[in-house]
Each structure stands twice: as C-alpha cells, then as structure tokens.
A and B are shown apart, each in its own frame.
Chain A
Amino acid sequence: MKVIVNGEPREVPEGTSVAQAVATVSAAGSGVAAALNDEVVRRSAWDDTPLREADRLEVLTAVQGG
C-alpha cells in the first residue's frame, strides 16, 4: 500500500505499524514524535497503530531554531 512519510510517497507492506515506519527515518530512542494524519500518536502506541492506505505520517525532532 502507498503511504506518505514526511512528505515522501512510500510503498510499504500491509499491516506496517507506525513504529516500523518511524524506524525507516529515525533510529533515535527519544526526542522524536509522530503524527498520523495530523493526530499525535504516543510513542507507547506506535507498535499497535497500523498504517492504512494513503495515510500521512509526520516524524519530527528538535533542530536548531528560535
């Protein structure tokens, strides 16, 4: 199925979890947050939250700014 991770279209297997998708862009154990279709998914729920066709996943971290 097709999903969008940080603005990039991707082909991932059915049943791919938020945790698995996040792992493709970040190996950080902390300091990272994810939003699925503009809703924050708590880290504790990443494993049990599956992606669906056309989902938009945003994975953010802190950078220099302000």
Chain B
Amino acid sequence: MTVQNETDPLEIAGERLDSRLIMGTGGAPSMAVLREALVASGTELTTVAMRRVDPSARGSVLDVLRECGVRVLPNTAGCFTAGEAVLTAKLAREALGTDWVKLEVIADERTLLPDPIELVEAAEQLVDDGFTVLPYTSDDPVLARRLERIGCAAVMPLGSPIGSGLGIRNPHNIALIVEQAGVPVILDAGIGTASDAALAMELGCDAVLLATAVTRAQSPARMAAAMRHAVEAGRLARQAGRIPRRHHAQASSPFEGLAT
C-alpha cells in the first residue's frame, strides 16, 4: 500500500480541493508574512473579508492570493443580521466573481458566537439565490442538520470561539455532527495549535479552517507547515482506524519464550 501517493481530495459542491486545510487571512502582520504562511500551509482555498475601500491602502490581499494560486472564499464576518450578511455576500459575488461564501452571522462582539436564527434565515436566502453557502455555525448537531437540509454545501462548526485558541471544547458534539452529515464538515474556529487540527480530523471532520493560530503565531510559516502536517496526520489516523481505549495494559511483546 503506497499511502504517500494516494490522492484524497476534498469535494465541496462538486469542486475538488487537494488540500484539506482552509486558511483565513486575518491577523497577519504583513502581506509578505501572509504569503509565506499560505505557501507553507499548502492551502487551496482562503477566506477574505469585505470592507469599505480604503483609498490609502497599499497592496491587496487579492494580489497575494493570486500570486499563491489560492482560490478566494469571501466571508460575511462582522454581520449581525441576515440582511447585512446577504448584502455582503452579494457584494462579494460582484467584486470577486465567486458565488461561494463563508456565511458568518454573529450574535455579539464579546463571544463572536453565531446567531442561529439569523444564520438560518441568511442561509435560506443565499441558497435560494444560487450561492454555495458554507456556514460558520455553533457545535449544535441539530442546527448543523437544519443548515444541511436548507441546502448548504458544507457545515462549519466551531471548536471554540473565534481567535480563542481553546481548541475543540466539545469533541462529542463534533463527532455527532460528523456522524449525521451528508455534506463536508469543516472545523472552523478555535484551533490553537497543531494537535487541535489533528484532533478535528481524527474526529472525522473533512477539513479544518483556521487563521489566527497561524497568522498570530510567533512564526506563522512554521505554524502553517505544522497545521498542514497535522491535518494530513489526523486524516490518515481517522482512515487507519484507531485502537480501542483500554483500562489496563496490553503487552505488545510476547510472554512466551522468556529466559527464566
């Protein structure tokens, strides 16, 4: 078995991605650091936010993505209502020529937790309008199921609050979401370090989306490489099938034939 040469693409809405690590661009100290990190991560899909143009801005994140050959995934970060999120998604479609959107409708600035009522409302409108909707959601399996039924192309439950680096606080809920999902499950938000990303994949997630853990690391490019390996390692471990946990030891060396 030649594990190294196996292809294991992620498919979202009929589109194939060879990397299961989706990156965000927020928090990088410079475009140069961002470029290095994106290259090291091996990502093929990366989020951007939509904001009022700043006439004094120098260098565009779009140029960096183009140079890296990375596909752009606009988000609706900062939107508090379905109406704001839908307008932002439509502006992103017009500006960037993509109907993919990371749908984010937050409830408050302190927790940045998703507002489930507004999220479902926005998802319905955007799916009806032909968008490929990737919703950032809480780790509630019922809400994830509702989003899938509406027609979302993936569900993206949080591991813990955005930017918190607290990892996956409720692995059981993530496992429940994975168990029932008919669309890709992408662990979005809360990743702090490589082991968190590996755990997400071991739990059966199809991909991981992260930004802060890389962009605000002391060495973003190194952490990006770590995340790339962690996602691959976690995926392989999931496919390999882990051993059951045991209460007591089980010797791996035979007892027979010992010198006495």
Report A's interface with B, CB cutoff 8 A: 6-7, 25-26, 28, 30-35, 38, 40, 42-43, 58-66
| A64 adjacent to B94 (CB under 8 Å) | no
- The answer on a CB contact under 8 Å between B102 and A62 is no
Known: A33-B94, A35-B91. A61 touches B55 (CB 8 A): no
In the bound complex, CA of A45 to CA of B253 (Å):
76
> Can you list 25 pairs linking A and B with CB atoms under 8 Å apart?
A25-B53, A31-B96, A33-B92, A34-B91, A34-B94, A35-B87, A35-B90, A40-B90, A43-B94, A58-B52, A59-B53, A60-B53, A60-B92, A60-B95, A61-B53, A61-B95, A62-B48, A64-B26, A64-B61, A65-B24, A65-B25, A65-B26, A66-B77, A66-B102, A66-B104
Report the minimum CB–CB distance from B194 to chain A (whole Å): 20
Bound: A63/B24 CA distance, A:
11
Specify which chain A residues have a CB less than 8 angstroms from the CB of B55 in the assembled complex: 25-26
Decide if A66 touches B48 in the complex (CB within 8 Å). yes
B162 nearest in chain A by CB position:
A66
How many angstroms from the CA of A64 to the CA of B26 in the assembled complex? 5
A61 near B87: Cβ-Cβ < 8 Å: no
Distance A45 CA – B79 CA, assembled complex (angstroms): 26
Complex: chain A residue closest to B49, CB-CB: A65
B244 shortest CB reach to chain A, Å: 38
Supply 11 further A-B pairs (C-beta < 8 A) apart from A65-B24, A65-B47: A6-B52, A7-B52, A40-B87, A60-B53, A60-B92, A61-B50, A61-B51, A63-B48, A64-B34, A65-B51, A66-B73
Q: How many A-B residue pairs have CB under 8 A?
A: 100
A66, B49: Cβ atoms closer than 8 Å: yes
What residues of A have a CB within 8 angstroms of the CB of B53 in the complex? 6, 25-26, 28, 32, 59-61
User: Chain B nearest CB: distance from A57 CB in Å?
Assistant: 10
Q: Is the CB of A64 within 8 A of B102?
A: no
Interface of B is mostly: mixed
Chain A residues with CB below 8 A from B207, complex form: none
B94 to A63, Cβ gap below 8 A? no
Complex CA–CA separation, A39 to B72 (angstroms): 23
> Given the complex, which residues of B lie within 8 Å of A38, measured CB to CB?
83, 87
Q: By the criterion CB–CB under 8 Å, are B51 and A60 in contact? A: yes
B60 contacts chain A at the CB level, 8 A cutoff:
yes
Q: In the complex, what distance in Å separates the CA atom of A35 from the CA atom of B83? A: 13
Contact, CB under 8 Å: B77 / A61: no
Contacts of B73 in A (CB 8 A): 66
**By the criterion CB–CB under 8 Å, are A64 and B28 in contact?**
yes
Q: Among B48, B54, B93, which residue has its beta carbon within 8 angstroms of that of A65?
A: B48
The residues of B that contact A61 with a CB separation of less than 8 Å are: 50-51, 53, 60, 62, 95
